[in-house]
Amino acid sequence: MRLLHTSDWHLGRSFHRVSLLDAQRAFLDHLVATVEEHAVDAVLVAGDVYDRAVPSLAAVELFDDALRRLAELAVPTVMISGNHDSARRLGVGSPLMDRVGIHLRTDPAGCGTPVLLPDGSGKGQVACYGLPYLEPALVRGTLAADGAGHTAVLRAAMDRVRADLATRPEGTRSVVLAHAFVTGGEVSESERDITVGGVASVPVSVFDGVDYAALGHLHTCQRITDRVRYSGSPLAYSFSEAGHRKSMWLVDLGPDGAVTAERIDCPVPRPLARLRGTLEELLDEPAYEAHTGSWIEATLTDAVRPEEPMARLARRFPHVLSLVFDPVREDGGTVTSYASRLRGRDDRQIAEDFVHHVRPGRRAEPGERALLGRALDAVRLAAAEADEGPPPDGSGAAPSRGAAPAGGAGRGVAR
């Protein structure tokens, strides 16, 4: 059984206000061509199909065209919703799409019901389970999880998978699609934070008992184990991905469940480059001539901000998109910017640091940290319910008294 594992398309996303629709269309053309060229038996899309819960019409049309072309190839496609998607919107029409081999798995209650993929070699079926992104506060009751965190709900979902797999004929191979942050995974700056509500990462052992776990959420293509892999995003969505090799996994699942995989490179619309130095150095350095066609993030180290730096840079680098100032002091040190101080810190850490900033010498106490955590959880839950509606079993936690509202600045922090 040959599988093509991809994820994190983020259809409709732009890159520093440059539309990526043409680049995303080129990627989907490449995906369809890869399916044909390599005789792929099934396509796996591990979440974040769209970049927004309510995508643009152009993004929806691109998605619709991709599904139509895959259906015409008669190659089954299994797709889950990610934390950027609206699960209910993405799942509209899924019973009808099942009939043409497009299997949208967006309902957490269906985690234990597989798509059964026939093996053309006559070696039996492959049970393919789709686990959409599981927001702990929204799905804990649905899955009867024994805890409120990411690990607890994903374990509960995988327990359903293993229970169903135990009823299948001996020798049935198994594949799981999941959208999660697995411990040890390499992150970038373009993934949406899911750390509110406790530790976001889950141990790789959660996926024990299945032959292959096709993961989405992290944008770096990477191998956690031979059987647990991220495909990463097909395009770079932040300058932190300048050194990434964007690709998909072409996975061969043998009759005995053995896994072999190779990377299939994705088209690169334009290379990325991060350049650093004084303005004059960036304008005059001969080595930088190789980057005149790249999308550029320029970090200026001038002690005094130069006049019209963006316009001057654009004359040499027509595709410069981002300008960062990191001035070097006379003593050789640098002035730390607010953005750099926040980089790599989650919402909870930022909130606790703010408390310390406005109350010098006294950090947030344990009770205050717990209160901040509940407030951030409440904002996150309210935002998720605004996209999806309340959970059908009423298991969602009620927002804490005094919690931030779902709209405005509060919502931006939590998402």
CATH number at residue 205: 3.60.21.10
Closest CA to 373 of 384, 383, 381: 381
Whole-number Å distance between alpha carbons of 319 and 303: 25
Shared-domain flag, residues 234 and 149: yes
Domain count, the chain: 3
Domain region containing 396: 347-414
By the 8 A CB rule, do 132 and 107 touch? Answer: yes
Shared-domain flag, residues 153 and 220: yes
CATH number at residue 332: 3.30.370
Of the residues 245, 265, 285, which one is the last residue of a structural domain? 265
First to last CA, the chain: 37
Shared-domain flag, residues 195 and 314: no
Shared-domain flag, residues 335 and 356: no
Shared-domain flag, residues 50 and 180: yes
Closest CA to 273 of 299, 295, 293, 241: 295
Shared-domain flag, residues 248 and 149: yes
Closest CA to 235 of 68, 62, 13: 13
Shared-domain flag, residues 254 and 362: no
Shared-domain flag, residues 292 and 388: no
Shared-domain flag, residues 138 and 279: no
AA identity, residue 160: R
Of the residues 247, 265, 283, which one is the last residue of a structural domain? 265
Query: pLDDT digit of tens for each residue in the chain (415 aa)?
Result: 999 999 999 999 999 999 999 999 999 999 999 999 999 999 999 999 999 999 999 999 999 999 999 999 999 999 999 999 999 999 999 999 999 999 999 999 999 999 999 886 666 799 999 999 999 989 999 999 998 899 999 999 999 999 999 999 999 999 999 999 998 888 888 877 665 444 578 999 999 999 999 999 999 999 999 999 999 999 999 999 999 999 999 999 999 999 999 999 999 999 999 999 999 999 999 999 999 999 999 999 999 999 999 999 999 999 999 999 999 866 555 555 555 566 656 677 788 778 776 776 678 888 887 788 778 777 766 766 666 655 444 444 433 333 333 333 333 333 3
Shared-domain flag, residues 332 and 353: no
Of the residues 296, 323, 340, which one is the last residue of a structural domain? 340
Shared-domain flag, residues 123 and 83: yes
Whole-number Å distance between alpha carbons of 183 and 187: 11
Shared-domain flag, residues 26 and 162: yes
